[in-house]
Structure 1
Amino acid sequence: MKAVFEAEPPEWLPDSSATSCMQCSASFKALSCGRHHCRFCGQIFCGRCSSARSLLPSKFRVREPQRVCDTCASALEPGQTLLALQVSHAFQTATHDVTDASCLRSWLNSPLGLSMEHEIYKATNTLRHFLKAGRLAPERTIPGAVLKNAKGLAILTVVKAGMGVTYKVGTGLLVARLQNNTWSAPSAIASCGMGWGLQFGGELTDFIIVLRNDSTVKAFGGRVHLSIGAGVSVAAGPVGRVAEADLRTGDGGVAACYTYSCSRGVFLGCSLEGNVVATRKAMNNAFYGDNCVTAKDILFGSVPQPNAASPLYDTLEELFR
């Protein structure tokens, strides 16, 4: 393992160096059998002989699992847990941790987060906005009785637009409260849906969905779940309000949730809403450096709290305090 951890990035062989796979000798063909370089040894293999993905030592300067050949995958496998603690995105120090007015990105959350670090920033920013609103107008904050018994939070930013029929899409993350009263590592989620009713306009909404019990966390922690409910939405200018009641069902179970939100835009209407929320498995895998990690592993304590989420945990502690 010492030789593996001290390995230097290789010089890749030119494509012309091999006309067949260096492991199984399968001949390369344009569509059915393409060339793939192993990121650890630099040699050329077919897709079947280089299907594994592993974290690489720190000298390679990559933080996500990379494509490697079967031989290198076997050599790297014993050190994957240690490499995850050294090089994965999850255990790096958070660099974007300013959510006040001095930072332009804090003014408006993007509905589409392209990395877990971005989702952590968005969630922290949303919680900060709710804390600020609660200090200025206590009636607009999340009731303490609701927070006290919460088993988890889903925090999303969603954009919705249309007339009569509306479409919406957004991303966010999910965290759960563990039995020792600490917070789990975050799991990335995405939402898309449609609405039908007397409505028109467009709005950007930050949602905090309070998960009341463990069964609700399991429902959100499944691969995909569906929510159906009625909503009344009013947004005019910088801040609006949304009230929703919904029932969610999926491969993780059935659950009801409390939803709190803050909207920006120009939108008015009442509608019947349908949403699909899914776990972003690829984003979780890339962030934690583990291709086998599941949302339930993350939410029920099998994955330690990542350093990259420290601003989120600080804000959660302030919200619940």
Structure 2
Amino acid sequence: MFAPNWGSRLVQNWVHDWVSVRQLPQSNRGRHSKINSVLSDPTAREAIQTYLRSHKWAINPPKLEKLMKGEMLPVEAAEYCREIEHDEMPRGLKSFIEEKLLPRLHIPPETLLHGSKLVLVAHDEMVAQAHDGLRYTWVLNGEQPLRKKGVGRGLHQSDFICSTVGWLEEASGMWNGELFAKQLEEKFFPAFAAAHGPGHTAVILVDNSQGHASYASDALRASAMNLKPGGKQPRMHPGWYIRDGIKVVQSMVFPLDHHTHPNQPKGMKAILQERENMPKALRSVPVDLIRKWEHRSWRFIDAYSENLDATDALYKVKAFSSRKYKSHRRNPEQLAQAMDEI
């Protein structure tokens, strides 16, 4: 199953090596530059060298001390040295790699201790523009065409590249952590297993992106909560707050014996009322600030009563709420003092 030309030259090279040195060349399969072992890491290599230079591999320290002091018979000392070289040192080094080194590198011990090899996989993302805007349109005489300033629909592409696997995953809309995990489970891992076979572990290098951030389904996230109970909001795990120096555990779901919302998420309003933070928060707002926002609301009501659109209404409200300074390169003393306080 060799190629016609390259296969014949390969066989000739093998015959030449066998006639010359009576050895066949070793296969380079599995020695790709992107396939690393734990010894490829300089930190791991230094840790193993430091360990071997110490006496931590000795399982029987008293017996080792007796050997160092020359208190053993020659036959007994030779037998113990053979035991150290073929038993204690490999066993101690294996224990060091399993219990100390691999957890520090965040690598499961069972992957490397059974002949598994690490395959470096690079991941990257990009957004390509479709440029699918309209090229032709109908325009009335004397008017200018108004086209969108964008470059068309965006396509988010997620790409994995290793020695034998590479593809693009396209998605419309925003790429998030759920889509990234789905791509790993449904497409990447099966393709990686088919390409490399057993005994290989993928080490995926992922760029730092907020789109890869993901939360648990019951994570405490205020942005995912509704104001009222029930509805489309997650069932979060219990939270807690401090009251009078004591930690109080708070359930985020109404109990089953609740008269209106049994076993439903409470919502933001119920959570704040239970914590008694709402009255405290309202008392912390100055009265003059409340009055200012009340006046601003009435100015918006007056502007909309004059049938103004949103932009004109905003300009009219700013005419009352914004203060203009006409002096050149000079700020009033009152404004400077306010900025110093900030």
Provide the TM-score with structure 1 as the length reference: 0.25
Larger Cα-atom Rg? 2
Q: Identify the structure with the greater helix proportion.
A: 2
More strand by share: 1
Compute the TM-score of the two structures, normalised by the length of structure 2: 0.24
